Structure 1
Amino acid sequence: MTRPLWTCPSCGRTFANRNQTHTCAPLGSLDAHFAGRAPHVRATFDAVLAEVTALGPVSVLPERTRIALHARMSFAAFVPRARWLDGHLVLARAIEHARFRRIERFSAHNVLHAFRLSAPADVDAEFAGWLAEAYAVGRQRHRSPPGDLR
């Protein structure tokens, strides 16, 4: 059985763990993150978001320094730049691939994969598969017994 999410009484964000450490600040505007950026940067983010929302419910959190995608936990984050979109996915395994600029292992099933997307076409079937894996981590399905889809 899945534990209910804890809601921070100050900022209203939800977390899988009670009293989880976080930057307790109001969320900003998604549009503000894309101000002054090339239009294809927003189109690339929208392509990512279309893939993720097809998987199930997701919260888009425009924080001060990044845009996080959150299910039970944050599983992806993006930083719009002038001509591209930097970001990372949290996967339950390390994937050595040229598309990942950096890989950081935080625990056995919490592996950050940093990338750069330059156009909506970069959100192809291969990347969509990684998004699906990251979404499963965000839903904490990687911690479930086999066959438990919660």
Structure 2
Amino acid sequence: MNRSLWTCPRCGRTFANVSQSHTCAPLGDLDRHFDGTDPVVRAMFDRLVGELGPVDVLSEKSRIALHVRMSFAAFMPRRHWLDGHLVLARVARHPLFRRTQVFSPRNVLHEFRLTVPAEIDAAFLALLREAYAVGEQRHHPS
């Protein structure tokens, strides 16, 4: 996928689609999301981001989004755990998935909760990398 990204002239965020609808707000401080959380919550987040290639980490008001050409994952740190979701181009199964929402055949949100680092297994990391490919829009036909 070689199409250039559109940059919002107001907030500076990039998008795959011109004039894409979004909350046009300045990004915040990433560390703020981890204020008052157990150190393991930040460690799990950092490990997951470290498993990926180049990625924009967007510290939004209520979540942390991971973005390449499009956002493909989001995290909401809580005091003792890390809630989040992955966007995949299919319905997938994993013991961590608490709920799945199908928005279209190739836009499926998978909600999860991580409570300990040991839950981040090879299968979950493979799904994270699959979501990254969705963020790159490699799931779209050329």
In which range does the TM-score fall when normalised by the shorter chain? over 0.9
Per the alignment, residue 73 of structure 1 pairs with 70
**Counterpart of 2:28 in 1: which secondary structure?**
coil
Per the alignment, residue 27 of structure 1 pairs with 27
Per the alignment, residue 6 of structure 1 pairs with 6
Cα distance in 2 between the residues matched to 1:116 and 1:18: 33
Cα distance in 2 between the residues matched to 1:132 and 1:2: 20
Cα distance in 2 between the residues matched to 1:119 and 1:12: 35
Residue by residue over 1:78-125, the C-alpha shift from the partner in whole angstroms, topping out at 9 and shown as x without a partner, is 000000000000000001333210000111101000000112222221
What residue ranges of structure 1 are gaps of 5+ in the alignment?
146-150
Cα distance in 2 between the residues matched to 1:3 and 1:75: 18
State whether residues 10 and 24 of structure 1, in contact with CA within 8 Å, keep that contact through their aligned partners in structure 2: yes
- 1:46 is the counterpart of 2:43: no
**Counterpart of 1:41 in 2: which secondary structure?**
helix
**Cα 1:124/1:96, change in 2 over 3 Å:** closer
RMSD of Structure 2 on Structure 1 (CA)? 1.1
**Counterpart of 1:137 in 2: which secondary structure?**
helix
What residue ranges of structure 2 are gaps of 5+ in the alignment?
none
TM-score by length of 2: 0.96
Per the alignment, residue 136 of structure 1 pairs with 133
Quick check: 123-132 or 134-143, which moved more? 123-132
**Which amino acid is 1:107 matched to?**
S
Quick check: 28-37 or 91-100, which moved more? 91-100
Identity of aligned residues (%): 65
State whether residues 94 and 124 of structure 2, in contact with CA within 8 Å, keep that contact through their aligned partners in structure 1: no
Residue by residue over 1:43-63, the C-alpha shift from the partner in whole angstroms, topping out at 9 and shown as x without a partner, is 1101111112xxx21000000
**Counterpart of 1:143 in 2: which secondary structure?**
coil
Cα distance in 1 between the residues matched to 2:102 and 2:73: 15
